[in-house]
Chain A
Amino acid sequence: EPEVTQTPSHQVTQMGQEVILRCVPISNHLYFYWYRQILGQKVEFLVSFYNNEISEKSEIFDDQFSVERPDGSNFTLKIRSTKLEDSAMYFCATATSRGNEQFFGPGTRLTVL
């Protein structure tokens, strides 16, 4: 069964450093999302991406965040200068079309020290 994959599974970084989280979507999916989940809290939407551009973003997704699909397969989330409060699980999700079931990856645990 096709699945969304994410790398790394765990990233530890120093405050102020840049991190790049990677996602490989299911091959025929066209809509891509990033969500985050702070420990013990609910899953929160960050950004959606379609046709090589951001379609929606939340207030969490500020200038420190960016997304791209550099090579037509990987979908990346970059945090330019990490803060302690960026520590969370980051989930990539993909869907065949808007409003359809989103398939989630296993997540990347980001720890900012």
Chain B
Amino acid sequence: LAKTTQPISMDSYEGQEVNITCSHNNIATNDYITWYQQFPSQGPRFIIQGYKTKVTNEVASLFIPADRKSSTLSLPRVSLSDTAVYYCLVGVAYSSASKIIFGSGTRLSIRP
């Protein structure tokens, strides 16, 4: 599975848009890009997945450039409740039943 690199931590304020970028230079042709969110004292939670271009759901948007060597998770108008750890994951595993390999994630802190 492709290795990912993302910021260790980020800070922002309520109402701002937050963008977290993940690098995955050796992504394979069949790999998907998936983001999970983990709140304190909870298990990780799937938030979005994409293969190329842009994907949007009720929680976030995922932007993937043409070369797919990076991706950006965008959280619009964050609130205090968006404080969490965000994991960028790359691999074909997420379209078939297989283990997830977690990295260290990005610890996002939202301030009033």
A and B: partners?
no
List residues of B whose CB falls within 8 A of some A CB. none
